[in-house]
Structure 1
Amino acid sequence: MGGSRGRGSAAVLVCVATAVLALSAVASPAAGAQESAADVTDAFWDAGAAEAPPAAVAGIPFRFAVYPFELRRLELPSRAFSNSRVVPRVDTGLHDAEGVRMRRVKGRLYEFPRGQASYGLENLNAYRITGDAFFLERALAQARRLVSYHTEAAGAWYYPNYPSRQRHGRPGEYVRAPYYSALPQGRILMFLSRLAEMTGSPRWREAADHTFLAFLRPGPCSGPYVVRVDARGYYWLEEWPWAGMKPDATLNGHNSSAFGLYEYHMVTGDERAAELFKGAATTIRHYLPRFRNPGWISCYCLAHRHPNAHYHAMHVGQLLQLYKLTGDLVFARAADSFSHDYPRPGVSGRLQVEPGVYRAVRIDAAGKPVARRTVTLRRGVTWRTDCRRRLWRGSPVYLRVRSGGTLAGWWLQERPGRAFLIGTAAARSYAPPRRLSVAAGVSLQALVFDENGRVRASRRVSSADGLRFTVNRRAVINGYDRVRISAGDLERFWVRLRSGVRLY
């Protein structure tokens, strides 16, 4: 595509109107969102998030809100931590002489419950793929260590975290060790459940059973606790202790913990775990709008509501996982909205810019815009880019120029078909596939792309009666929001989301 294009600053005819931006001027929302406004910006709540009043559930000694999800049964290769990656035999992570994962704080080694469970799951995955007992033994080393230091309360096993710390590093929110967290509790439950499933050993099933009991003890109560039911009856899995403080309601920690409940249900068939997982998913279904900042980064937790870009990307993945486990479109639509609000910024590739007039912005180290340019190009150029994101709340999406003469280090506003990343950005998958509706008489161009964004096949389709497809993937390709058809004659073809084309 770029073989005959001019490169570098020679193609820049005019760069004018450099000025310091008033922050009030850039804080207002701007046009130019690259994903389909007709689909993404519809409230994901339109999928029907009905209130679920607290109810009694058999075998669970408290009432909580449960939406009637129909959980999808996933076999092991389709569950969390099952992928094609085989961890290296040589562990370069921090571990002790027994090969068990640890954490170091101020020069001292501490047990690392979440890290040990996660590494155990990664090694079980490697064992599943290779059949090499080396990986199973390394997973068993993590499990033996975990059960060796558990704390017990009312038959439930908890896993202490050290050292003491300030919650989020905030003065006045001191968390004294040992402290307990639903995030590692859920990750350990997933690990021990899967270990029991893959080995058939009653030892690990018993350990999983005891670990599960912690989810039946809402706090505050005597001894450790990691879950609670709020004043509205919603069931929370709390990543951070809240004794003497406002509960944190951390989104990623709650979701990560909930996936352990799903795993335990899949392995054991325990219906209490299924209902608790549904309760945890119901909580997110209800509170998700409070975590969202439309046109910007989502909040890490509800106690402080601070945006966090790293966890925002994690939120998108977790929402897609909730959709995968429940089939509820609320979660798929929410993932789309979150991704549109703040696309995953990490890209590496070529920025194609066609002739025309463009806006460029420079930001300081704190991410605040400090200057702008109007750039006129008399011929097309191809530059390198390494980041694609919104620069402030409600701004258009910008691409950072890495090699562009006098524009190197500046951000250029993305414009589909005019200034765009060549290839794929903001990709995400849908399982199960979603429905796509094409209105009667709308002509649709379906394309197959290679990994460099070049068109390898093209078809034009339309129908007087409209068209229906299923799609399993979505991405911005060459600047346009597209979905990939998952079945039929057009399987693996991509189509644009635009007027008359609606994703359900």
Structure 2
Amino acid sequence: MPFVFRDAIWGPKFNHSGYELSRDGKSPYIGKFVVPLEDTTWGETGDDNVLVTKLHGQAVYHPVNSSWYINQMLSSYHESNNQLYLDRAIATSKYLIKWSITDDNGAVWFPYHFSHAVRTLRLGTPWYSGMAQGMMTSVFVNLYDATGDEYWKSMASGTGKSFDQPKVESGPWFHNVALLDGKKFVYYEEYPALADGQNAHVVNGHIYALYGLYDYYRISGDKHVRWLFDVGASSIRDSFGAYRNPGKPSWYSPTYYGRTVWEPCELPPRRHQPASNAG
């Protein structure tokens, strides 16, 4: 059985607000534009209609970059009704699925097989990202919206199950629970780290994960998915003061560790941060 996060009868409660979500909205990724077929913003498109992403000149498996591309293809398909855009979206999605993994609980994961290092941040292979999991959930929802094919809805469901995986010593996870002001705050980590002090709560990765939950809720109405969105949205709302950098762009990470990684030239004094991991 998949792990389900619940409030304990005794002890800290999850920080949540009871958000209601409309199922009548549209995906944040789908817009009214048409990308030129020859555009190479996200990489080259091969004869098989699959996007080829290159990093330092080498072809890599990159779920986030491919997700951007797929959603741009789907926006273009909706506006132009040109089948080639949909063909590209489907072919690249199937390529990503081919190299995904499915765990014992039926959760589908999209691993990174290249290492990621920024100053003291070190992510060995494979590593997994809440941003990638959220964006891939949206990809499958948007393919379902475009085609009506139940297969894509089932893939969205499988990818959405990854949000229920708690922190583990080995294996994929990104759902991080931190204790702050006597409540459990949930952060969907873009760069999950086993060491509590190295979980940076990167804001954009967390929000893209929330987009995936929102998109899946639109087509499912699943109350647990709404709860996962609720605790994530409530946590980012109630800790956003730590992201603010008055008069300047907000911090990429609210933690002191995160700022040593991404903003080493302008470190503020230490602020109150989550004291421990409760997950």
TM-score, shorter chain, exceeding 0.5: yes
Q: Does 1:131 align with 2:81?
A: yes
Matches within 5 A, 1:71-150: 71-76=21-26, 79-93=27-41, 94-95=43-44, 97=46, 98-150=48-100
Compare the two structures and name the one with the higher helix fraction. Answer: 2
> Which of these residues, 96, 108, 114, is aligned with residue 163 of structure 1?
114
Match of 1:220 in 2: 168
Deviation readout 1:12-46 (Å, 9 max, x if unpaired):
xxxxxxxxxxxxxxxxxxxxxxxxxxxxxxxxxxx
Q: Does 1:302 align with 2:250?
A: no
- The unaligned stretches of length 5 or more in structure 2 are 8-13, 269-279
Q: Determine helix, strand or coil for the equivalent of 1:228.
A: strand
State the one-letter code of the partner of 1:240. Y
By how many angstroms is 1:265 displaced?
0.2
TM-score under structure 2 length normalisation = 0.82
Q: Determine helix, strand or coil for the equivalent of 1:248.
A: coil
Deviation readout 1:462-502 (Å, 9 max, x if unpaired):
xxxxxxxxxxxxxxxxxxxxxxxxxxxxxxxxxxxxxxxxx
Matches within 5 A, 1:155-304: 155-166=106-117, 169-171=118-120, 173-220=121-168, 222-231=170-179, 232-244=183-195, 246-303=198-255, 304=257
Q: Does 1:62 align with 2:6?
A: yes
Between 1:181-190 and 1:127-136, the stretch displaced more is 127-136
By how many angstroms is 1:60 displaced?
3.3
State the one-letter code of the partner of 1:213. K
Whether contact under 8 Å (1:165, 1:174) holds in the other structure is yes
Identity over aligned residues, as a percent? Answer: 26
Between 1:290-299 and 1:67-76, the stretch displaced more is 67-76
Between 1:206-215 and 1:83-92, the stretch displaced more is 83-92
1 CA distance for matches of 2:226 and 2:165?
16
Match of 1:341 in 2: none
1 CA distance for matches of 2:261 and 2:212?
24
2 CA distance for matches of 1:307 and 1:170?
8
2 CA distance for matches of 1:110 and 1:117?
14
2 CA distance for matches of 1:159 and 1:125?
23
Deviation readout 1:49-96 (Å, 9 max, x if unpaired):
xxxxxxxxxx934333211223234433xx312222111122324235
Matches within 5 A, 1:443-462: none
State the one-letter code of the partner of 2:198. K
Compare the two structures and name the one with the higher strand fraction. Answer: 1
Which gives a bigger RCO, structure 1 or 2 (Cα 8 Å, sep 6+)? 2
Whether contact under 8 Å (2:23, 2:219) holds in the other structure is no
Structure of larger gyration radius? 1
Deviation readout 1:173-207 (Å, 9 max, x if unpaired):
32101110000110000010111122121211111
RMSD: 2.5
State the one-letter code of the partner of 1:83. G
Matches within 5 A, 1:378-457: none
State the one-letter code of the partner of 1:296. K
State the one-letter code of the partner of 1:306. R
Match of 1:456 in 2: none
TM-score under structure 1 length normalisation = 0.46
By how many angstroms is 1:308 displaced?
11
Relative to structure 1, the CA distance from residue 225 to residue 90 in structure 2 (aligned partners, 3 Å threshold; closer, same or farther) is same
Q: Determine helix, strand or coil for the equivalent of 2:59.
A: strand
By how many angstroms is 1:228 displaced?
1.5
1 CA distance for matches of 2:30 and 2:252?
26
Relative to structure 1, the CA distance from residue 88 to residue 127 in structure 2 (aligned partners, 3 Å threshold; closer, same or farther) is same
